[in-house]
């Protein structure tokens, strides 16, 4: 196998499996070459990945050393994503009754979702989470993508207890968005007791839903180590959650005045 | 920029954006080199990707020619995935009341989901779909991953009409699994009228849910051009849907006898 092909194959394997460590011996056996050659190949592979702005390769030193792909996104690309996101959101054809904003197309679009996921992967890569959790439905692709980039299992909390989830723990919480009590249920099999959990969701207004998820994690003896939300409404100013990271801040939304205000969160990093 | 780095960057960019065509001029401008060099680089990049068994690069000839990454999975890897999937499913600790089987951990695991997604991407890459559709909740990560590999937008049909979906079309259908009438709702904004749609879901018993999705697509003047289901139960033998592709066939499930039978679908390709 030629050196250029080896480098290409290393890039493909590592970036297909983000945050997952591979021993150098894995590649030296795969290619039938010396570990020293693999080390040199990895150096070039890392340069190539860094050129694309999507991350870099991190080598783990020592006898049992290895390498893994660490996803990343540059400050410029974060800003470009935020601007593009805001400009999509400001489109007043998104206005729905009750001053809601239609966003499903954005959260089901893999280009937007995978860039947002790299933002959260950068933000939370050192938070030591063992799971990524979300509550159904619209945040699932984003939470799934983040869980992939951080090489963590995903947990999806349901609105209703389902027979296919087995025994569940259920809680009630007050949703400001819907101005009523809501329920959420999580399978007893979903996480190990005492786990560290990163919460990812598409939208937050008062924080009722995130508080509900946190309470649920608490029922499993777990700890919330990070909260990443794509869009956070400016109102109400006082949230039920203190510590969260938004990508976009949503200002005034009015069907009458035909306006949707959206701004990048400039203190994200 | 060195040739090896160029090749690495080409691999990274194309595989991050599956099924999306890039003009050769995109790369020649990015790297500041001749199109002929880019052509040679692409050839080596394709060899490297093929070595990893995850697909290949397809060049589009002509003056406006370009290149795109076509995801794939080998027969051997399909079989290995099916065997691993079956062996997970046969674990009787998955047995729930009502002879249901717990599968959430599998459908939220990015390693299993991304391999399953490559199976469906291979199966349906020539079906000319314009959307990938699923009904919430457990099939969403898989359907999202397939939509990414085929470079198509995702549509998620909801169980309940939500205010955040705007005007919706709702239908009722009979679910054999739950032995009752169920409802599904789809936003009027979700697909263009007359579209071709690929349905992806995690599980099918009698086919009520898939029939419901098809009927819904029909309400939008659309056509179903493919149905891919991860797990299909052998019973009932007669399904409401004729044309579908399963990865795993689920046999007898009995809490009393402590048994879950699962077999690979060997006529998938």
Same-domain check for residues B59 and B88: no
Same-domain check for residues A143 and A251: yes
CA distance linking residue B76 with residue B249, whole number of Å:
18
Q: What is the pLDDT of residues B199-219, one digit of tens each?
A: 999 999 999 999 999 999 999
Same-domain check for residues A83 and A15: no
Q: Using a CB-CB distance cutoff of 8 angstroms, which residues of chain B are in contact with residue A16?
A: 15, 52, 54, 114
Task: Indicate the SS3 state at residue B269.
Answer: coil
Q: What is the pLDDT of residues B102-122, one digit of tens each?
A: 999 999 999 999 999 999 999
Q: Using a CB-CB distance cutoff of 8 angstroms, which residues of chain B are in contact with residue A138?
A: 156, 164
Interhelix angle A24-31/A3-16, rounded to 10 degrees, is 130
**Across chain A, what does the average pLDDT equal?**
96
Q: What is the mean pLDDT of residues A54-75?
A: 92
Which residue, B71, B94, B124, sits at the end of a domain? B71
Query: Does residue B244 fall inside a structural domain?
Result: yes
Query: Does residue B251 fall inside a structural domain?
Result: yes
Least Cα separation, residue B10 to chain A (angstroms): 9
Q: Using a CB-CB distance cutoff of 8 angstroms, which residues of chain A are in contact with residue B140?
A: 137, 140-141, 144
Which residue, B27, B45, B71, sits at the end of a domain? B71
Interhelix angle B3-16/B35-52, rounded to 10 degrees, is 60
Same-domain check for residues A83 and A65: no
> How many interface pairs between A and B have CB atoms less than 8 angstroms apart?
188
Query: Does residue A115 fall inside a structural domain?
Result: yes
Look at A148 and B52 and tell me if their CB atoms are within 8 Å: no
Looking at B90-207, list the stretches that DSSP marks H as alpha helix, in order from N- to C-terminal side: 104-107, 110-124, 140-149
Least Cα separation, residue B47 to chain A (angstroms): 7
Same-domain check for residues B141 and B10: no
Q: Using a CB-CB distance cutoff of 8 angstroms, which residues of chain B are in contact with residue A37?
A: none
Q: What is the pLDDT of residues A188-209, one digit of tens each?
A: 999 999 999 999 999 999 999 9
Same-domain check for residues B111 and B8: no
Same-domain check for residues A41 and A88: no
Q: Tens-of-pLDDT digits for all 269 residues of chain B?
A: 899 999 999 999 999 999 999 999 999 999 999 999 999 999 999 999 999 999 999 999 877 779 999 999 999 999 999 999 999 999 999 999 889 999 999 999 999 999 999 999 999 999 999 999 999 999 999 999 999 999 999 999 999 988 899 999 999 998 887 788 999 999 999 999 999 999 999 999 999 999 999 999 999 999 999 999 999 999 999 999 999 999 999 999 999 999 999 999 999 99
Look at B49 and A108 and tell me if their CB atoms are within 8 Å: no
User: Which pLDDT band, with edges at 50, 70 and 90, does A175 fall under?
Assistant: confident
Same-domain check for residues B15 and B97: no
- Give the per-residue pLDDT at B63: 74
Look at B108 and A153 and tell me if their CB atoms are within 8 Å: yes
Contacts of A231 (CB under 8 A, 6+ apart): A89, A103, A202, A203, A204, A246, A247, A248, A249, A250, A262
Name which of B48, B154, B155 is nearest A8 (Cβ-Cβ): B48
Query: Does residue A269 fall inside a structural domain?
Result: no
Same-domain check for residues B30 and B103: no
**Residues B163-172 as b or e (16 or more Cβ within 10 Å = b):** ebbbebbebe
CA distance linking residue B152 with residue B147, whole number of Å:
5
State pTM to two decimals: 0.97
Q: Which of B4, B93, B99 to mutate to test the interface with A (most CBs of A within 10 A)?
A: B4
- Give the per-residue pLDDT at A61: 87
Q: Using a CB-CB distance cutoff of 8 angstroms, which residues of chain A are in contact with residue B233?
A: none
Look at B105 and A141 and tell me if their CB atoms are within 8 Å: no
Least Cα separation, residue B143 to chain A (angstroms): 9
Q: Which of B3, B7, B8, B113 to mutate to test the interface with A (most CBs of A within 10 A)?
A: B8
Q: What is the CATH number of the domain that holds B122?
A: 3.40.50.2020
Q: What is the CATH number of the domain that holds B13?
A: 1.10.10.10
Tokens at B161, concatenated: 């009409």
* Counted domains in chain B: 2
Question: Which residues constitute the domain of residue B164?
Answer: 75-264
Distance of CA B66 to the CA centre of its chain: 25
Same-domain check for residues A159 and A240: yes
Query: Does residue A170 fall inside a structural domain?
Result: yes
Q: What is the mean pLDDT of residues A54-76?
A: 92
CA distance linking residue A128 with residue B154, whole number of Å:
31
Same-domain check for residues B57 and B150: no
Which residue, B21, B36, B71, sits at the end of a domain? B71
Same-domain check for residues B111 and B199: yes
Look at A110 and B190 and tell me if their CB atoms are within 8 Å: no
Q: Indicate if the pLDDT at residue A180 is higher than 90.
A: no
């Amino acid at each position: 196998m030629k050196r250029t092909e080896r480098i290409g194959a290393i890039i493909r394997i590592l970036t297909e499996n983000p945050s997952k460590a591979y021993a150098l011996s894995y590649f030296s056996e795969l290619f039938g070459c010396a570990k020293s050659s693999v080390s040199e190949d990895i150096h070039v592979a890392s340069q190539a990945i860094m050129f694309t702005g999507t991350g870099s390769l991190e080598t783990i030193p020592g006898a049992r050393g290895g390498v893994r792909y660490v996803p990343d996104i540059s400050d410029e690309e974060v800003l470009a994503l935020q601007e593009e996101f805001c400009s999509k959101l400001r489109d007043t054809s998104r206005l729905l009754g009750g001053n809601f904003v239609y966003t499903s197309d954005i959260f089901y679009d893999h280009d937007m979702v995978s860039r947002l996921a790299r933002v959260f992967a950068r933000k939370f890569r050192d938070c030591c989470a063992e799971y990524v959790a979300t509550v159904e439905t619209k945040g699932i692709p984003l939470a799934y993508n983040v869980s992939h980039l951080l090489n963590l299992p995903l947990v999806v909390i349901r609105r209703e207890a389902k027979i296919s989830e087995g025994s569940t723990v259920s809680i009630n919480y007050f949703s400001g968005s819907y101005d009523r009590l809501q329920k959420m249920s999580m399978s007893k099999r979903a996480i190990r007791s005492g786990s560290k959990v990163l919460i990812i969701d598409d939208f937050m207004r008062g924080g009722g839903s995130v508080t509900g998820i946190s309470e649920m994690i608490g029922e499993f003896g777990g700890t919330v180590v990070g909260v990443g939300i794509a869009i956070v409404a400016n109102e109400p100013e006082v949230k039920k959650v203190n510590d969260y990271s938004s990508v976009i801040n949503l200002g005034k939304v009015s069907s009458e005045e035909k306006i949707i205000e959206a701004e990048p969160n400039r203190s994200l990093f």
